[in-house]
Amino acid sequence: MGAMNKVWVMNRHTDSALSDDNLVLKEFPLEEPAPGQIRVKSMYLSLDPTNKVWLAPYFTYVPPLPIGAPMRGFIIGVVDKSNAAGYAAGDHVYGLMTWGEYCNIDPTQTSYMMKLPKDDSVPLETWISALTMNGQTAYYGLLVKGRPKAGETVLISGAAGATGLITGQIAKIAGTRVVGIAGGAEKCRSLVEDYGFDAAIDYKNENVIEAIARTCPNGIDIYFDNIGGEILDAGLTNLAIGARVVICGGIADYGNLGDPSKQHGIKNYFALLMKRATMEGFVIFDFVGSLEHAKCERSLMQWYKEGRLKYRSHVVDGLEKAFPSLSLLFTGGNTGKLIVQISKDVK
């Protein structure tokens, strides 16, 4: 028998709660890359709340995965074999690939692919934790959609998550006052003491509406929302005139995607009228290939090398733990960026 490739594949769709059998780990013969393709050996897999959205049986902002298809995800890996121009064996790449030990992919046909620069001073863990999808999402959401001005107040929900941590630090670089919402005293302490937030709100142990009014006495100029639900409604109670509400995620309702009647929705939307505010959603794919994308990459790298951009990783060991670990994102069981180390052959 030849070499085999372990891959997580779609077994049963869901638009509500996760079940153990939504994805199954299977083995397939390891295939040679076709003309125009590269074969990537996976090193790190990013686990993100949007992975739950991609399990739905209908079009969200990407097409649904057919039953039996490999699960998609953001991967850092090394090119094992190349039949594509511009890529050679040994190159490190990052992109939207599949949850497996290996992936054959045409770099020109995927919605996100980049070759990582050769820079031994930047660990691969840093790339997947801060300099790629999560860091870029924070950059676009805050700077492009939020349009911060020095002295304004920024409120971030899900602030202790991978995107929230980077968003808060970019907001400080932009000269704003930053307040984060997180769950638990330790996460709130870390936001202030380790990541430079001006204040933190513990949604598990505080009245969130009262805490927002206390920590944002002049109102919220930019609300960067990763949660939705009751937390979003609480944020809308204290908007400043002309506020910008940026919708990055809605983890509170990811278990009710297929049934709007069960979703919390926006119950305090009238605040948008009263404060002449705007609310806008976005996804990272909106910016891939743009001039802003190149500027984003340069800025994140500069801030990281200047010591102005920190991150925290929660590393799970082994591809077989990928899907069982996804639920940590919805229970608050992870601390920082949740990633799976697939290959020990990491430089």
Q: Note the pLDDT tens digit of each residue in 169-204.
A: 999 999 999 999 999 999 999 999 999 999 999 999
Q: Name the residue among 5, 7, 9, 6 with its Cα closest to residue 67.
A: 9
- At residue 347, the pLDDT reads 47
Q: Which two tokens stand for residue 247?
A: 């919708």
Q: Given a cut of 80, is residue 256 above it in pLDDT?
A: no
The single residue listed with the structure tokens 């990272």 is 284
Euclidean distance between CA atoms 219 and 196, whole angstroms: 20
- At residue 98, the pLDDT reads 97
**Which class would CATH give 4-118+312-341?**
alpha beta
How sure is the predictor about 164, in pLDDT bands with cuts at 50, 70 and 90?
Answer: very high
For residues 336, 340, 345, 347, the Cα torsion angle rounded to the nearest 10 degrees is: -20
> Containing H/E element for 191?
helix 185-193
Work out the average pLDDT over 235-239.
97
Q: Given a cut of 80, is residue 311 above it in pLDDT?
A: yes
Yes or no: is domain 135-285 CATH 3.40.50.720? yes
- At residue 90, the pLDDT reads 96
Average pLDDT, the chain: 94
Cβ atoms within 10 Å of 347's Cβ, excluding its own: 9
Lowest-pLDDT range of 117-121, 193-197, 324-328: 117-121
Residues of the chain with CATH 3.90.180.10: 4-118+312-341
Residues of the chain with CATH 3.40.50.720: 135-285
Read off the amino acid at residue 74. Answer: F
Cβ atoms within 10 Å of 183's Cβ, excluding its own: 17
Given a contact cutoff of 8 angstroms between Cβ atoms, the answer to whether 166 and 303 are in contact is no
Q: Which two tokens stand for residue 164?
A: 């929230």
